[in-house]
C-alpha cells in the first residue's frame, strides 16, 4: 500500500524463462535493479495500409520518458487476462477502443535505463490490432507526449525504447504492406 495515497500498488506477474507464472511482485519492485522477470505486452496498431502507430512516451513517465515506443505497452494481471488487459490499456493510453488484438509473438529482453535505478526484464507478448486511419486518437498526456503513423522502421534520432526493435520484428509480417524488413 502506498503511504501517500493509501492505494495498493499494481502488481506484475513474475514468470520463468518459459513464461510460466511463478508469483507476483509490485510493479516498482519488479523494475528496480536487479529487475525481476515478469509478463508484459506490447501492442502494435496498424491502419491496414502498411503504417503502424508509434508513440513518444511522456516526459512524466518514470521509466523510459521521451523514448519512442510501439503503440502501447503494459503489464497484464495474468496470462489469462492478457488480451482484455491490453485492450483496456490501449483505451487508457490512447483513448481508442480496439475490438481485436492477436498475439503474434513472444520474446524476452533485459535492459537498464541509463542514469537511473530502473531495469526491464520482461517476457513480452506482442499483440497486433487494426484501426482505421481516421480513428480519433486522444492520448493521455501523462502517458504519451506525441504519436505518429509510420510506414517503416523509424530512424528519426529519437531514442528508442529497448523493446521497440524486437516488437517491430515480431509484428512486421502481420502488418499488411509494412516495410519492416528494412534495417534501422
Q: Map out the domains of the chain as residue ranges.
A: 11-174
pLDDT band at 78 (very low <50, low <70, confident <90, very high): confident
The closest alpha carbon to 110, from 10, 33, 13, belongs to: 33
Under DSSP, the state recorded for 183 is: -
- Region 7-12: mean pLDDT is 84
Provide the whole-model pTM: 0.91
Beta bridge partners, 130, equal 46
pLDDT band at 7 (very low <50, low <70, confident <90, very high): low
pLDDT band at 6 (very low <50, low <70, confident <90, very high): very low
Question: Residues 73, 119, 120, 130: which is the catalytic one?
Answer: 73
- Region 89-109: mean pLDDT is 97
CA dist., res. 159 & res. 20, Å (int) = 32
- Region 152-176: mean pLDDT is 90
Residues 47/130, Cβ–Cβ less than 8 Å: yes
Per-residue model confidence (pLDDT) at position 5: 43
Helix (H, G, I), strand (E, B) or coil at 100: coil
Top-level class of domain 11-174: alpha beta
Per-residue model confidence (pLDDT) at position 43: 98
Per-residue model confidence (pLDDT) at position 184: 39
| pLDDT of 71 over the 60 cut | yes
Residues 59/145, Cβ–Cβ less than 8 Å: yes
The closest alpha carbon to 166, from 110, 115, 117, 113, belongs to: 110
Helix (H, G, I), strand (E, B) or coil at 120: strand
Question: Residues 13, 119, 120, 122: which is the catalytic one?
Answer: 122
Residues 32/118, Cβ–Cβ less than 8 Å: yes
- Region 71-88: mean pLDDT is 94
HSE value, Cβ hemisphere, 13 Å, CA-based, for 141: 0
Between 73 and 154, the higher pLDDT residue: 73
73 as an active site residue: the answer is: yes
Query: Cell 503504417 appears where?
Result: 51
pLDDT band at 9 (very low <50, low <70, confident <90, very high): confident
- Region 69-95: mean pLDDT is 95
Amino acid at each position: 500500500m502506498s503511504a501517500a495515497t493509501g492505494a495498493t500498488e499494481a502488481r506484475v506477474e513474475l514468470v520463468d524463462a518459459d513464461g510460466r507464472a511463478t508469483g507476483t511482485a509490485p510493479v516498482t519492485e519488479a523494475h528496480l535493479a536487479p529487475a525481476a522477470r515478469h509478463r508484459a505486452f506490447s501492442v502494435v496498431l496498424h491502419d491496414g495500409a502498411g503504417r503502424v502507430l508509434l508513440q513518444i512516451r511522456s516526459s512524466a513517465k518514470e521509466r523510459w520518458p521521451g523514448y519512442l515506443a510501439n503503440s502501447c505497452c503494459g503489464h497484464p494481471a495474468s496470462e489469462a487476462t492478457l488480451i482484455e488487459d491490453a485492450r483496456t490499456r490501449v483505451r487508457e493510453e490512447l483513448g481508442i477502443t480496439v475490438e481485436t488484438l492477436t498475439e503474434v509473438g513472444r520474446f524476452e529482453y533485459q535492459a537498464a535505463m541509463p542514469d537511473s535505478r530502473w531495469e526491464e526484464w520482461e517476457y513480452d507478448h506482442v499483440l497486433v490490432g487494426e484501426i482505421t486511419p481516421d480513428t480519433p486518437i486522444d492520448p493521455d498526456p501523462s502517458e504519451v507526449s506525441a504519436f505518429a503513423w509510420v510506414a517503416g522502421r523509424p530512424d528519426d534520432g529519437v531514442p528508442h525504447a529497448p523493446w521497440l526493435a524486437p516488437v517491430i520484428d515480431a509484428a512486421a509480417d502481420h502488418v499488411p504492406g509494412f516495410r519492416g524488413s528494412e534495417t534501422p
